Chains A and B, each alone.
Chain A
Amino acid sequence: MKMKPLWALPLLYSASALSQERSLNLTQGVTEISRDVYDLHMTIFYICCVIGVVVFGLMFYSMIRHRKSSGREPAKFHENVKVEILWTLIPFLILVGMAIPATITLIDMEDTSDADVTIQVTGSQWKWHYKYFDREVSFFSRLATQQEQISNKFDKSENYLREVDNPLVLPTGQKVRFLVTSDDVIHSWWVPAFAVKKDANPGFINEAWTRIDEPGIYRGQCAELCGKDHGFMPIVVIAKTPEDYAKWIDETEAEQIAERERQQELLDMEMSMDELMAMGEKIYNSTCAACHQPNGQGIPGTFPALAGSAVATESDKLDQHIDVVVNGVQGTAMQAFAQQLTMQELAAVVTYERNAWGNDTGEMVQAADINAAMNE
């Protein structure tokens, strides 16, 4: 402990040069629970410091005063029941003292009853999906940082790796309940400012809740190793006042309903090869390339190649190709994209996969074909 300031020095120095956001300590957060958690954290930290100063202080005193080079003879004492009972009992009582507030906070944290808003949070490799209960609003939330920033071709933005295309929007002052689950492996939904971290387990639903005090933007990340892009599935929450939130949810709901109707109308529209390829390339790069790679070669031994593969080149395997993309493959990392992409997008991406990277089948797939496959 005495040595700690030595190596803490450069840290303290750099800390003062950093902006306020670059904290070295746990956040106090913006909920009652997160402040309770912060208080518990600081209390136990100070208790540890005091114990550390006492124990290490005695140790260093002994190391300095009880050296052989100071010409001492060693004492002979050992075992002392009184002392031994004391140093068992005192830590025990300190721990009991800590366990009481921890228990109270924990029971609070696990009480998900009487929620005003319920959101289903679904993790999948490597994005989050949010669904507002009782409203027709749901969307995926993906990393918005450009690939070029990750590969160091562009400068890194302020919120590098902590920005998404569609943030979760929540009301302040209301009890929000999260139902957390997963489509594939285990993920963990974590927003430090709410002190909420809950694992997303495939096939099971976990509950958590928060009540946010202040409007603002709060950022977090997936906290459970979930494969290759575990480091690239952030969480962004925008907390709005109840009035602003009501406005937002009404607008978004209307937009989403209108969009679904538009998709139905578009079903009969034929797209040209160029249109399909252009849209397909865009969707492929944002949705499929993380595993199958931009060049369609996949990652040998983990993610199969599409370039030159039977299913993407042989005419009689077209139905199978559509089925794989729409419904996924049970027991593998291949997800079902029926809910993630529109029928047009699905048609475009299948077309792209059958014509890119030398797969030149010349075959086109239209939204109507996807619709037919889905209704089989």
Chain B
Amino acid sequence: MSTVVDDHNHEAHHDHKPSGITRWLFTTNHKDIGSMYLWFSLIMFFVGGAMAMVIRAELFQPGLQLVEPQFFNQMTTVHGLVMIFGAVMPAFTGLANWMVPMMIGAPDMALPRMNNWSFWILPFAFVILLSSLFMEGGGPDFGWTFYAPLSTTYSNDSTALFVFAVHIMGISSIMGAINVIVTIINMRAPGMTYMKMPLFVWTWLITAFLLIAVMPVLAGAVTMVLTDKYFGTSFFDAAGGGDPVMFQHIFWFFGHPEVYIMILPSFGIISAIIPTFSRKKLFGYSSMVYATGSIAILSFLVWAHHMFTTGMPVFAELFFMYFTMLIAVPTGVKVFNWVATMWRGAITFEVPMLFALAFVILFTIGGFSGVMLAMTPVDFQYHDTYFVVAHFHYVLVTGAIFSIMAASYYWLPKWTGHMYDTTLARLHFWTSLISVNLLFFPMHFAGLAGMPRRIPDYAVQFADINQITSIGGFAFGLSQLLFLWVVIKCARGGEKAAAKPWEGAEGLEWTVPSPAPYHTFETPPKVE
């Protein structure tokens, strides 16, 4: 697909960078910033995971054992916020920082100083959010969806901190998105036309537009919560002429595109890994691009499927049901494409491929429950039960997070210059695969049997299912320590990685040495 005219050997001599902490504080280098995003996201993954462990420990048995209901609600709320805004989104931004410039043959991101800032405000946002847990009255406890008036009139004093933290996260995301868009549009190497871009670049370009479109909506929603609570407005208070359901419309107008923000880059990653290890071109490149675009457009037309029980007119319920079901079509196209790519390939099962294959199967299971949830009459039964919890954890954990793991194993040799420990990595994969299904699959049954979500205690007939779920949860949590071990071990040493460690890999990132030099593509490569 491409060849590099440039010789990189001389570059190692002039990568001036400050040493110590200032290198990381003041860096404008996309690789440094990418690494910081990825480490930050891994830390947040463990912080959010620790909260999930508290939740699963309390739910291990019926009755209240470990925590008070109010603290339980804080755990579910902050677990959601940390995992979405702290783990998944920064991980994708980190991958974009590292890989997008190297994939399009650019020397760096287009706006390097803004890049530095968009990362460095993130830790402050999460310090604010997490510190609110230690305030008198505790942290946010109204669910990550912060429905009014539970989050306004009835919320505790830390709500202002929550609002401020979300604002900072939003600003960070918007700046990251602007950077990705400007980089992709302006800094592609000669010959790198749009329809030659790797799918990870394409999916991130579309994701970045989604981010710019909806993060301001989230900012609007939290600001209205702030003024309703502290400044006497009545956006969501019927007594003052407002409407609590309007909050949900505004929130989900952000919230639904947000779920695609967390899955589109995954599609890009999987579309890189499956062809590599099948040693065969992606079956339908252009149909993948169009499918991604259609999903992005449809994502703005389906938000109210989160709100079927709020009492909408029948016409609105039908509209949102039809458009939601329609999303299954482009998503199906993607899954069929991956399977067709594997078909009659020459497949090997390196760890990135194992995660990618697990992604395809388990994400599709999440897609099936998604189609079931789309049907309004049945959604009345599923809504706000563990069936929904099972659904979105299948698409977010075995979907988004498995794709991030796949990406990490795929590009770790490029980042560190070493191969990861294959035995440990395989162990990580298999323990994760088994435990994650033990964790989330039984949740479907709990939901169907009638267990509502976000409850700290439950009726005795749900006891067995919850016990299995909790065991799966602890096992999955522990398995991730293996991942940390593999990453640290790989960063510190190991078998030397070649510039292109994967036989079937294609793309500009494999034309530079491993580890990638501090500066790459100072002279643009020529893409044919």
Among B24-32, B63-71, B420-428, the one that faces the other chain is: B63-71
Distance A25 CA – B385 CA, assembled complex (angstroms): 13
Shortest C-beta distance, A55 to chain B (Å), equals 6
User: Which of B237, B325, B335 is the most central at the interface, judged by chain A CB atoms within 10 Å of its CB?
Assistant: B325
Which residues of A lie under 8 Å from residue B137 when comparing CB positions?
299-302
Closest to B65 in A: A152
Interface check A150, CB cutoff 8 A = yes
Contact B332–A45 (Cβ < 8 Å): no
Which residues of B lie under 8 Å from residue A91 when comparing CB positions?
328-329, 332
Distance A184 CA – B149 CA, assembled complex (angstroms): 8
Interface check B192, CB cutoff 8 A = no
Which residues of B lie under 8 Å from residue A51 when comparing CB positions?
368
B residues 431-465 near A (Cβ < 8 Å) are 434, 437-438, 441-442, 445, 448-450, 452-461, 464-465
Closest to A150 in B: B64
- Determine the interface band of chain A, counting residues with CB < 8 A from chain B: 35 or more
Shortest C-beta distance, A258 to chain B (Å), equals 35
CB < 8 Å neighbour of A333 from B154, B280, B325, B452: B154
Closest to B504 in A: A74
Interface check A374, CB cutoff 8 A = no
Which residues of B lie under 8 Å from residue A152 when comparing CB positions?
63-65
Contact A23–B449 (Cβ < 8 Å): yes
Interface check A106, CB cutoff 8 A = yes
Interface check B393, CB cutoff 8 A = no
Contact A106–B376 (Cβ < 8 Å): yes
Contact A59–B339 (Cβ < 8 Å): yes
Distance A332 CA – B437 CA, assembled complex (angstroms): 42
Interface check B54, CB cutoff 8 A = no
Distance A299 CA – B137 CA, assembled complex (angstroms): 6
CB < 8 Å neighbour of A102 from B335, B368, B376, B452: B376
CB < 8 Å neighbour of B459 from A58, A87, A160, A227: A160
Interface check B322, CB cutoff 8 A = yes
Which residues of A lie under 8 Å from residue B69 when comparing CB positions?
228-232
State the main secondary structure of chain A at its contact with B: mixed
Interface check A72, CB cutoff 8 A = yes
A59-B361, A151-B63, A229-B69 known; A206-B458 Cβ under 8 A: no
Contact A232–B344 (Cβ < 8 Å): no
Contact B63–A37 (Cβ < 8 Å): no
Distance A8 CA – B69 CA, assembled complex (angstroms): 31
Interface check A175, CB cutoff 8 A = no
Interface check A103, CB cutoff 8 A = yes
Distance A333 CA – B392 CA, assembled complex (angstroms): 31
Contact B150–A225 (Cβ < 8 Å): yes
Shortest C-beta distance, B370 to chain A (Å), equals 10
A residues 164-198 near B (Cβ < 8 Å) are 180, 184-186, 188, 190, 192, 195-198
CB < 8 Å neighbour of A10 from B318, B364, B468: B468
User: Which of B245, B309, B383 is the most central at the interface, judged by chain A CB atoms within 10 Å of its CB?
Assistant: B309
Which residues of B lie under 8 Å from residue A48 when comparing CB positions?
368, 371-372
Contact B135–A301 (Cβ < 8 Å): yes
Contact A333–B311 (Cβ < 8 Å): no
CB < 8 Å neighbour of A204 from B238, B279, B343: B238
- Determine the interface band of chain B, counting residues with CB < 8 A from chain A: 35 or more
Which residues of B lie under 8 Å from residue A62 when comparing CB positions?
339, 342-345, 347
Contact A231–B458 (Cβ < 8 Å): yes
Distance A150 CA – B348 CA, assembled complex (angstroms): 53
B residues 319-351 near A (Cβ < 8 Å) are 321-322, 325-326, 328-329, 332-333, 335-336, 339-349
Distance A113 CA – B384 CA, assembled complex (angstroms): 27
Among A92-100, A316-324, A341-349, A351-359, the one that faces the other chain is: A92-100
Contact B321–A102 (Cβ < 8 Å): yes
Distance A95 CA – B371 CA, assembled complex (angstroms): 9
Contact A331–B346 (Cβ < 8 Å): no
CB < 8 Å neighbour of B381 from A37, A68, A161, A203: A37
Contact B244–A302 (Cβ < 8 Å): no
Q: Which 5 A-B pairs have the closest CB atoms?
A: A301-B137, A203-B238, A231-B455, A206-B311, A301-B136
Chain A residues with CB under 8 Å of chain B are 1, 3-4, 7-8, 10-11, 14, 18, 21-27, 33, 36-37, 40-41, 44-45, 48, 51-52, 55-56, 58-59, 62-63, 66-69, 72-80, 83-84, 87-88, 91-92, 95, 98-99, 102-103, 105-107, 109-110, 125, 149-152, 156, 158-162, 180, 184-186, 188, 190, 192, 195-199, 201-204, 206-207, 220-232, 299-302, 330-333
Chain B residues with CB under 8 Å of chain A are 62-65, 69-70, 73, 135-138, 141-143, 147, 149-150, 153-154, 156-158, 237-239, 243-245, 278-287, 309-311, 314, 317-318, 321-322, 325-326, 328-329, 332-333, 335-336, 339-349, 357, 360-361, 364-365, 368, 371-372, 375-378, 380-381, 383-385, 434, 437-438, 441-442, 445, 448-450, 452-461, 464-465, 468, 504
Having A224-B309, A231-B455, one finds 13 other A-B pairs with CB under 8 Å, namely A27-B450, A52-B368, A74-B346, A78-B283, A91-B328, A186-B150, A199-B245, A203-B239, A206-B310, A230-B452, A231-B458, A232-B69, A333-B153
